[in-house]
Amino acid sequence: MVEATLDVTVGRQQRRGGAHGIVAIAWRNLWRNRRRTWLMASGIGFAVWMLVFAQSVQMGTFNVMVDNGARMSLGHVQVQHPDYHDNPRLEDLLSDAPALRKSIESLDGVVAASLRAQSFALVSAEERSFGAQIMGVEADREAKWSTLPTMIADGRYLSGPGEAYVGAVLARNLGLRVGDELVMLGTAKQGGVAAAVARVVGIFDTGMVDVDRALVQIPIADFQDAWSLEVDEAHTLVVLAEGVESSLELAEEVAETAVGLNTLNWHVLMPEMVQFIELKAVGVQLIFVLIAIIVTFSVINAFMMTVFERTPEFGMLKAIGMRPGAILVQLQLEAIWLWALGISVGIGAAVLLVGALGISGIPLPAGTEEILRGMNMPNRLYPGYSWEATWIGVITMFVGTQVAVLVPGLRLRRLRCVEALRAQE
């Protein structure tokens, strides 16, 4: 039996021919079965919430990992000789490096910038010898932004000439302690012998074996003297940005300033991190796709039930001259209202939760300190809201709900008025 109120309303709106009336009817029809509407809207909201929240947590995690890697050693942006990145050679140097550093420091968004010179050498202590990377650094600048000077296992960081800051694994392999002498032998700029002797003033422990067993830092002036470099020459200018998000734009500004040189952003400096982020993002998207498919099928089922329950109503509408396409449009409007309700619930929940956790942070399980330290991660994660995930979820669920309407809506084309009016709700 067709509801009288709906019949009267449809008749009035048919006479008026107003689009606004059809939209209002679609909204009213949605609440003829409140439980079903809220179940479908909750499913849509959950799918959107899951994608936004998961992507936001991941984005916050990745930003922390990238920022920690940048602050420990690599920086967000580096400027090098055009040939140095692909084939590092001692001869591929930045000339007039202090002036370049000064011009880069004047750019907006630059937190810090420091010069480095580096080469591989044989390091010895008494009768033991190992290969290591010798890095000449501006110690006073590095101490202001790099976290490596704070990862002290013993001693202190560099403060003057003739000093060395050594990784914990390398110190153990060489039998070094704070106060011991370290001999470094390498190849100088013109092919001669580079030799330097430094006193170990500090031993650092990053928790990353590859770094701790192969890195020695010394003042850049000592490196320039031992490896026969000019006082204004360096291999790399390391730049730290205000944040990971702004670093890519900053890299473009740096490239415009350092014309003729190679400017590298963190995507190039940390390729393993980029691959890790892409792999994790694919995993979240696959889970979202599965949930979206499940939600779409549930909406299809709900609209199929709607079509069966409202068969007499649709028969009456066809009998008074309404075309099946117009009836389908009305169902699509109902789906749009349902979609709007669902994404409002999902986005609202995601904004509130991500906002709260962005302030308080997500505490990580106890007992994982060593693992987190090895990954250069803090003990709390702070999500960053993902607008990209929001748009993906909104568009995907819109398409899903419209497809869900089309499947049962095809039945309307085969609907016969007499049989539909005789049907029982």
**Model pLDDT for residues 229-273, shown as the tens digit of each residue:** 999 999 999 999 988 888 999 999 999 999 889 999 999 998 888
- Quote the Cα angle for 409-294-395, to 5°: 70
Q: Residue 32 pLDDT > 50, yes or no?
A: yes
What would the mean pLDDT of 296-313 be, rounded to a whole number? 73
Beta-carbon count within 10 A of 375 CB: 14
Which residues make beta-bridge pairs with 166?
Answer: 203, 216
- Quote the Cα angle for 416-418-419, to 5°: 70
For residue 187, give the H/E element and its range: strand 181-187
The answer to whether residues 99 and 177 belong to one domain is yes
250 in any annotated domain: no
Output the pLDDT for position 9.
46
AA letter at 175 = G
The answer to whether residues 222 and 111 belong to one domain is yes
The answer to whether residues 14 and 96 belong to one domain is no
Lowest-pLDDT range, 204-208, 331-335, 373-377? 373-377
pTM of the full structure: 0.73
Q: Residue 213 pLDDT > 80, yes or no?
A: yes
Output the pLDDT for position 15.
45
Lowest-pLDDT range, 12-16, 81-85, 172-176, 260-264? 12-16
Output the pLDDT for position 113.
94
Output the pLDDT for position 39.
84
Question: Quick one: what percent of the chain has pLDDT higher than 70?
Answer: 83
38 in any annotated domain: yes
Output the pLDDT for position 372.
63
The answer to whether residues 122 and 33 belong to one domain is no
Distance of alpha carbon 172 from alpha carbon 149, whole angstroms? 19
Lowest-pLDDT range, 65-79, 145-159, 165-179, 406-420? 406-420
The answer to whether residues 304 and 369 belong to one domain is yes
Output the pLDDT for position 423.
55
Q: Residue 328 pLDDT > 80, yes or no?
A: no
Beta-carbon count within 10 A of 18 CB: 12
Among candidate residues 242, 262, 289, the one where a domain is terminated: 242
Output the pLDDT for position 10.
45
Strand-strand pairing, 77-80 and 262-265 = antiparallel
Output the pLDDT for position 233.
93
Among candidate residues 227, 242, 257, the one where a domain is terminated: 242
Q: Residue 369 pLDDT > 80, yes or no?
A: no
72 in any annotated domain: no
268 in any annotated domain: no
What would the mean pLDDT of 326-335 be, rounded to a whole number? 79
262 in any annotated domain: no
Question: Quick one: what percent of the chain has pLDDT higher than 90?
Answer: 39
What would the mean pLDDT of 298-314 be, rounded to a whole number? 72
Distance of alpha carbon 26 from alpha carbon 21, whole angstroms? 9
Residue 219: which pLDDT band, with cuts at 50, 70 and 90? very high
Handedness of CA 117, 122, 126, 128 (dihedral sign): positive
Cβ partners under 8 Å of residue 48, min gap 6: 342, 343, 346, 347, 350, 390, 393, 394, 397
Phi, psi of 202, rounded to the nearest 5 degrees: -160, 150
Q: Residue 16 pLDDT > 60, yes or no?
A: no
Distance of alpha carbon 71 from alpha carbon 63, whole angstroms? 12
The answer to whether residues 183 and 300 belong to one domain is no
The answer to whether residues 46 and 189 belong to one domain is no
AA letter at 267 = H
Give the total number of structural domains in the chain: 2
Output the pLDDT for position 164.
96
Which residues make beta-bridge pairs with 165?
Answer: 202, 217
Structural domain for 361, as ranges: 4-67+275-422
What would the mean pLDDT of 107-125 be, rounded to a whole number? 93
The answer to whether residues 218 and 196 belong to one domain is yes
What would the mean pLDDT of 207-220 be, rounded to a whole number? 91
Output the pLDDT for position 317.
66
- Identify the three-state secondary structure at position 375: coil
Residue 121: which pLDDT band, with cuts at 50, 70 and 90? very high
The answer to whether residues 203 and 117 belong to one domain is yes
Lowest-pLDDT range, 100-109, 137-146, 342-351, 365-374? 365-374
Residue 135: which pLDDT band, with cuts at 50, 70 and 90? very high
Q: Residue 186 pLDDT > 70, yes or no?
A: yes
Q: Residue 362 pLDDT > 60, yes or no?
A: yes
Among candidate residues 242, 259, 293, the one where a domain is terminated: 242
**Residue 387, burial from CB neighbour count under 10 angstroms (0-12, 13-18, 19+):** exposed
Better pLDDT: 353 or 25: 353
152 in any annotated domain: yes
Distance of alpha carbon 245 from alpha carbon 251, whole angstroms? 11
The answer to whether residues 46 and 90 belong to one domain is no
The answer to whether residues 9 and 158 belong to one domain is no
- State the distance between the two ends of the chain, measured CA to CA, in whole angstroms: 6
Instruction: Answer for the pair 258, 113: CB distance below 8 angstroms, yes or no.
Output: no
Instruction: Answer for the pair 261, 84: CB distance below 8 angstroms, yes or no.
Output: no
The answer to whether residues 396 and 320 belong to one domain is yes
Q: Residue 341 pLDDT > 50, yes or no?
A: yes
Looking at every residue in the chain, the average pLDDT score rounds to: 83
For residue 135, give the H/E element and its range: strand 128-137
Distance of alpha carbon 239 from alpha carbon 258, whole angstroms? 12
Output the pLDDT for position 126.
84
359 in any annotated domain: yes
**Model pLDDT for residues 48-107, shown as the tens digit of each residue:** 888 888 888 888 888 888 888 888 888 999 999 999 998 889 999 999 999 999 999 999
Instruction: Answer for the pair 186, 146: CB distance below 8 angstroms, yes or no.
Output: no
269 in any annotated domain: no
